[in-house]
Structure 1
Amino acid sequence: MDRIQGLKLPRIISDGMIIQRNEEIKIWGHESAGVFIDVYFAGCTYTAVGDKEGNWKVVMPAMEAGGPYELIITVGNKKRMVIQDILIGDLWLCGGQSNMELPISRVMERYKEEVETYENNKIRMFQVPMTYDFNGPLENIRAGIWQRLNQSNAKNFTAVGYFFAKALYEKYQVPIGLIHTAIGGTPIEAWMSEEALKQFPAYIEQSAKYKDKAFIQKTLVDDITRINAWYNRLDEVDLSLKERELIKGRWYDAREMEGWKDCELPSFLVDENLVEAGSVWYRKVVQVPENMAGKAGRILLGTIVDNDHVYINGSEIGFTSDRHTPRIYEIPLGKLKAGKNVIIVRVCFERGEVGFTPDKKLQLQIGPEVIDLNGTWQYKLGGKLERLDYPVFIQFQPMGVYNGMIAPLKNIKFKGVIWYQGESNGYYPDDYKTLFEGLIKDWRKTLRSSDLPFLYVQLPNYATLSEDYYLQQANLTDEVRKADLEAGWAKIRQAQLEALELPNTAMITSLDVGEWNDLHPLNKKDIGERLALAARAIAYHEEVNYCSPVGESVIREDDALIVTFKNEGTGLIMKGNELNQFIISQDGEHFYKAHAKLMGSNKVIVWHEQIGLPKEVRYAWADNPENANLYSKEGLPASPFRLNI
């Protein structure tokens, strides 16, 4: 809470705040018991008195969009607090995990010009700091400030929220506020109350030990100690690191190339001597022309598993500690020279896989000039160690961040929620439908709005394509592998689809904007704008076509299945020469890649020559349904689904 002497306000009631229009306005805080508090706002005065615990509140009538306003709070003639630049508009809660959390700074490669030429003082964001508690819901947010959308703050905004808010403002011209609560990696159960999780007693039991704050502190300290000790031992056994230290001067350009082998990058390393954890050194010699020498530039290395130190001509220019962040390192003036330059990358890997993510762009950029780094590199195995177990993330535990970040918002009125989550639950998807529907009801109860609009993103495509997939595409076999039938992300998408049974919900499909090799696809603009389109329908009650086509019913005619779609807009289309990603089964266990053709504006007929009397059809049922190409004429991709006779 902000405070002046004994007067305290929640941090979210602060300069630059946005209040939901056309809803009662609640202002609350803490003072001494029995003390009278006067609140002045929009020309009116409201009086409250502290209860026996010193808590007070005033409720003011709803207002139309507008501002800026001042909020003045006084206690007698001695204490006075002024909250400035308050706007009345629409307030949206942004929730989920990393794809909602991902800031504009991470997508600047795609949207640099747009972001650097746009400011809007009427779009603002309050980022709730990561907070967990397992002893019950907290009363207030502990920190945070309202950030206006300007060049100083734009890169901090959630990228999905940025494009969502921008689209809504351009449509309605009213202030748009974002309360940003998303935390990377969090499973859905972390965002649910204890009451909502009672039907899952294992989660209640799992979180019980975290009620002990001393246990949490010891767990975190022990974990940091364990990880640091592992990396210290890796440095001790990394022979290439020791060789570097023994070579004086130009260690990076040593002529002794013994033990180095060729490899093609970007790729994950395959070597018979590779162990489950350790380090690998990569090396590439690059010729830089005279006109590029000495200039500042950048090196792009895609994403690397798990972490890396990058050197150019012996100078370290960058380090990244996780596998998901794009490696974009600045090269200072004077580091590149004419002629031969040596790039060294030391990669440490913790659990089996190591290397440069395939299909990523590797290059040197010096001004407008580009030197391609894809192709042949050399590598050398460094240290070898046992597997390093995953770090401990207390924030992933059931109910923790709900108590710390959602429960304290109970006094705030929202226009609605936008949600992007499900990736972490892909490892255990079977309960997701119950959990997700439970979360929606739980948040509506907490936020005291039984029909609060809840808009969410169906998971995009993601996952490495397997050898089995390529064999199937080559028609060596039409049978779908069991791993795809049990795909966690496919099951999550189906659960998300079925959650539309709840009123005032909307789902946007994102199969066409994912990246098979990146958990965090860059295209957040289409996601934000599709959510805004859904908001126009669900929250603003416009008649707009925001829904993706989805299979609604299926009948059998002879040995073919005819699927009827809803939300087809002005009609279904396919992108390409033939429909892909339909599979059928006659027993519900063995599925085969099927032929499919459009029938009229809203039907697809599906069949396979060897499958008589099929009884089930699925569409785009895989973690990464490559080339799923059924769309509405409005350009919205069809949702994955499964239907039975």
Structure 2
Amino acid sequence: MEKQRKGIALSPLISDGMVLQRHSPVRIWGTVAPFGKVNVTFLGKEYQAEANKSGKWEILLENLNPGGPHEMRIESADTVKMIKDILIGDVWVLGGQSNMQIPVSRTLDLFEDEVSGAECSQIRKFSVPQMYDFHGPVDELCDGNWVSVTPETVYDFSAIGYFFAQNIYDTYKVPIGLIHTAIGGTPAEAWISEPTLLKFDRFKELLTLCKDDNYVNGVKQKEETRNNTWYHELFETDPGLNGDTLWYKEEFNDTDWKDIDIPTSFRGTELETHRGSVWFRKEFYASEDMVGENAKLYLGTIIDGDDTYLNGEKVGSTGYQYPPRRYKLSEGILKPGKNVLTVRVILTENVGAFITDMPYKLKTDRGEISLSGPWRYKLGAVMRALPPTTFFQYMPSGVYNNMIYPLRKYSIQGVLWYQGESNTGNPEDYKELFEAVIKDWRANWGLGDIPFLYVQLANFCPWKQEPEVSGWAILRDKQRRALALPGTGMAVTIDVGQYNDLHPWNKKTVAERLAFWARNMIFNENLECSGPLYDHMESEGDQLRIYFTHIGSGLIAKGSDDKSVKTFSICGPDGNYVEANAIIEGDTVLVSSNEIIAPVGIRYAWADNPEGANLYNKEGFPASPFSAHIES
């Protein structure tokens, strides 16, 4: 016999500190005993609900004006719950992969002074637990709570979410709630419902396979065992950790080690094929007045992992290649005079590197010391490459079922989305996938064509030599074409990326460009919110005239004195593109090449890292990359 349910159970979303969506139907829901009665009191009004036979109930609040804090009383026959510190404002869902997930703490090279001491009770986040389920939509979240911006919590906020919320709140003083769902590495298909994905043939087999718990658990167990064995062997066979004198000790004699200049890629060196560990050491000298508080090591980014020691003390460790190495030093570790820095680089599967054009230095309040230049190195453990791990959160529909569907009852203003990097290897159907995300999410909330504001991929090409076929350029154009859906807005970011970092640091500019779209859509400001977007073209003999929307107060060729626009290319009927001359004429761009007599195709900024792209409007927004063709 089923045990009688007692008390009121609420979604984790319905909790202290929640932000409710203004001027929208707002549902409050939960469970009690079957057919139990529930009274809700909020803003001086009382609402009654009767649970169904499963104990589920809900009430509807309407016409909520921004403000707060407020309290809500929820009462059943045997329980009273008080929800405190409730704000009414705008609620945004943060979706996508790592560039939306990246926290404020990863942007401190640019914004440390700006975010230090940040405090705003009117900006709050709710982090959805990162879970997946392949058996179908999950009714309710398992956990989570609302957190306000404080000097301690701000560093864990999504950087784009925080800077977006700050911009909107500073402008309108409307409370902002952020529901964080982004997960690094996830492709678009992970965020789409199964019924929708079944329209794409390439996912059907994988959808079926992931429903087999024995398969999923077997892969996870096998790979966990393999990874544990690999790292155990790495440790046991590393001479730097098992000899008479440990290689990270200050007194260790490294005179027989080889020389190397850092930063550098290991490609083209004896280290290119090495997997396991490599040890690097550098001596530097610090003056007496530099030693004190607030010392930090900047070690760029390192492929793959690292353990870092200063004067024999471990000061930092990072397990994978993407995070910037920024290691704060405890007082007393940095010494006046000679210091010895040791970095044990762990190479799992990639060609190793200390990424170039990154900061390598020691910085204190009284100066900095460059750590670039000559180092010494020696091979440590020699291992086989560690095969990639299967991340099931990347698989189709899993995180949609467990992270998006459970949010369906919580009213929101819109979605902020930054994703696409994980689809650049297969970009041809990204427009269809991305439109499926937008339509699925809108259907999930049932609030109509809520704003869906997204980031076009930034510039990135760490190998410097552009690939013959640019998956990044193709995907950017698919993103641009998705603007055909109503209620969408796209922030172009080809000028704020970093060629050598998948996660560009300048998240504030990205957030502000999203905020311009929101200010137009939500607050009806008459602001230019985008750079020039391709509209159409006309053939003029051996030239093509390109027309744009979002011209603003005029087109400019940034950094050019003669209105010459770079990175245009055109092709004839053979489809072979060549570099083109392009000049701004009024609100259009005229494009031609001496090599093409009858141009029919055009591209702009068509590269992973389109260096030199300089078409902007006078408001300072860059033009979107695009590709277009005159139909015969």
Interval of TM-score (by shorter of Structure 1 and Structure 2): over 0.9
Contact 2:257/2:376 (CA < 8 Å) preserved in 1? no
Counterpart of 1:356 in structure 2 is 354
Name the CA shift for 1:249/1:128 in 2 (closer, same or farther; >3 Å). closer
Alignment of 1:232-381 (within 5 A): 232-242=232-242, 245-247=243-245, 251-272=249-270, 274-293=272-291, 297-381=295-379
Range that drifts further, 8-17 or 269-278: 269-278
Alignment partner of 2:596: what SS? coil
Paired residues for 1:52-63 under 5 Å: 52-63=53-64
The one-letter code matched in structure 2 to 1:437 is E
Where in structure 1 do 4 or more consecutive aligned residues deviate above 6 Å? none
Distance 1:512 1:396 in 2: 28
Structure 2 residue aligned with 1:185: 185
SS of corresponding position for 2:613 = coil
Task: Verify the 8 A CA contact 1:433 1:496 in the aligned structure 2.
Answer: yes
Alpha-carbon shift at residue 251 of structure 1 (Å): 4.6
Paired residues of 1:583 and 1:591 also in contact (CA < 8 A): yes
Cα contact 2:10–2:30 (8 A) shared by 1: yes
Distance 1:603 1:256 in 2: 63
Q: Which amino acid aligns with 1:598?
A: I
Tell me if structure 2 keeps the 8 A contact 1:505–1:538.
no
1:389 aligns with 2:408: no
- Provide Cα deviations, 1:111-140, integer angstroms capped at 9, x if missing partner: 122212432211111111101111111111
Deviations 1:325-355 (A, max 9, x none): 1111122222233322221111011223102
Alignment of 1:444-523 (within 5 A): 444-467=442-465, 483-484=467-468, 486-523=469-506
Say which of 596, 605, 608 aligns to 1:611.
Answer: 596
1:580 aligns with 2:566: yes
Post-superposition CA distance 1:65-117 (Å, at most 9, x none) = 122221111112x3111101111111111111111111111112211222124
Contact 1:196/1:439 (<8 A) preserved: no
Q: Given residue 641 of structure 1, which amino acid in structure 2 is its aligned partner? A: F
TM-score (norm 2): 0.95
SS at match of 2:389: coil
In structure 2, the partner of 1:524 is 507
What residue in structure 2 maps to residue 11 of structure 1? Answer: 12
Q: What is the DSSP-based 3-state SS (H/G/I as helix, E as strand, rest coil) of the residue aligned with 2:27? A: strand
Q: CA deviation at 1:269?
A: 4.8
Extract unaligned runs of 5+ from structure 2. none
Residues 462 and 516 of structure 1 are in contact (CA less than 8 Å); yes or no, is this contact kept in structure 2? yes
State the Cα distance separating 1:500 from its structure 2 match. Answer: 0.6
Shift of 1:248: 7.0
Distance change in 2, residues 1:273/1:75 (3 Å): closer
Residue 360 of structure 1: CA displacement? Answer: 0.3
* 3-state secondary structure, aligned to 1:203: helix
Q: Tell me which residue corresponds to 2:614.
A: 629
User: CA 1:517/1:9 → structure 2, altered by over 3 Å: closer, same or farther?
Assistant: same
Cα deviation, residue 31, structure 1: 0.9
Partner residue in 1 for 2:218: 218
Cα distance change, pair 358–450 in 1 and its aligned pair in 2 (3 A)? same
**1:241 positional shift:** 4.3
Match of 2:397 in 1: 399
Amino acid at match of 1:424: S
Secondary structure in 1 matching 2:385: coil
- The one-letter code sitting in structure 2 at the alignment partner of 1:64 is N
Following superposition, the deviation at residue 239 of structure 1 comes to: 4.1
CA 1:258/1:460 → structure 2, altered by over 3 Å: closer, same or farther? same
- Shifted more, 287-296 versus 571-580: the winner is 287-296
- Structure 1's 390 and 11: CA in aligned 2 closer, same or farther, altered over 3 A? same
Paired residues of 1:266 and 1:375 also in contact (CA < 8 A): no
User: Per-residue CA shift, 1:460-502, capped at 9, x if unaligned?
Assistant: 10112534x6xxxxxxxxxxxxx34x21111111011000111
Which digits, 9 at most, give the CA deviation of each residue in 1:185-237, with x for residues without a partner?
11000000011112113323213233244543333232121112112223344
- Matched letter for residue 512 of structure 1: D
d(CA) in 2 for partners of 1:272, 1:79: 70
Cα pair distance change 1:442/1:249, threshold 3 Å? closer
Which stretch has the larger CA shift, 572-581 or 208-217?
208-217
Asked if structure 1 preserves the Cα contact closer than 8 Å seen for 2:571 and 2:577, the reply is yes
Counterpart AA for 2:100: M
- The 1:328/1:247 distance shift into structure 2, 3 A limit, reads same
State the partner residue of 1:38.
Answer: 39
Cα distance in 1 between the residues matched to 2:143 and 2:154: 19
Match of 1:195, SS state, is: helix
Alpha-carbon separation, structure 2, partners of 1:182 and 1:270: 37
Q: Is the 1:137–1:402 contact (alpha carbons within 8 Å) kept by the matching residues of 2? A: yes
SS in 1 for 2:423: helix
Q: Is the 1:277–1:385 contact (alpha carbons within 8 Å) kept by the matching residues of 2?
A: yes
Q: Residue 75 of structure 2 corresponds to which residue in structure 1?
A: 74
Greater shift after overlay, 351-360 or 570-579? 570-579
Deviation readout 1:248-287 (Å, 9 max, x if unpaired): 7985544453241333424445314642522222121112
List gaps (5 residues or longer) in structure 1. 470-482
Which residue identity is paired with 2:210? Y
The DSSP-based 3-state class of the residue aligned with 1:14 is: coil
1:16 and 1:84 in contact (8 A); partners too: yes
Where does residue 51 of structure 1 map in the other structure? 52
What's the offset of the Cα at 1:634? 0.4
- 1:175 counterpart residue number: 175
One-letter code of the match for 1:381?
L
Conservation of the 8 A alpha-carbon contact between 2:287 and 2:337: yes
Report the residue type matching 2:566 in the other structure. N
Q: How many percent of aligned residue pairs carry the same amino acid?
A: 42
Q: Which residue of 1 aligns with 2:28?
A: 27
Cα distance in 2, alignment partners of residues 643 and 149 from structure 1: 45
Q: Distance in 1 between matches of 2:527 and 2:13?
A: 33
> Match for 2:417: what amino acid?
W
Instruction: Give the corresponding residue for 1:535.
Output: 518
For 1:116 and 1:237, the matched residues in 2 are separated by 43
Aligned equivalents of 1:80, 1:57: Cα separation in 2:
16
Contact kept, 8 Å, 2:289 with 2:366, in 1: the verdict is: no
Maintained 8 Å contact 2:295/2:365: yes
CA distance in 1, matches of 2:97, 2:114: 25
Distance 1:249 1:216 in 2: 40
- Per the normalisation by structure 1, the TM-score is 0.93
Q: 1:402 to 1:81 in 2, by over 3 A?
A: same
Q: CA separation in 1, counterparts of 2:7 and 2:429?
A: 47
Instruction: Say if 1:47 and 1:344 are closer, same or farther in 2 by CA, change over 3 A.
Output: same
Give the equivalent residue in structure 2 for 1:144.
Answer: 144
Which residue in 2 is equivalent to 1:133? 133
SS of match in other structure, 2:197: coil
CA contact (8 A) 2:273 2:351 kept: no
Aligned to 1:124: 124
Matched pairs, number: 624
User: Which residue pairs with 1:476 in the alignment?
Assistant: none
- Which SS does the other structure have where 2:309 is aligned? strand
Q: Distance in 1 between matches of 2:385 and 2:443?
A: 44
Aligned-pair CA distance for 1:145: 0.6
Q: 1:512 to 1:86 in 2, by over 3 A?
A: same
In the aligned structure 1, how far is the partner of 2:547 from the partner of 2:98?
Answer: 35
With 288-297 and 195-204 compared, the bigger mean Cα shift is at: 288-297
Which one-letter code corresponds to 1:638 in the other structure? Answer: A
Amino acid at match of 1:592: V
Q: Which deviations, in whole Å up to 9, do the C-alpha atoms of 1:262-314 show, x marking residues without a partner?
A: 33424445314642522222121112223334666111101100000111122
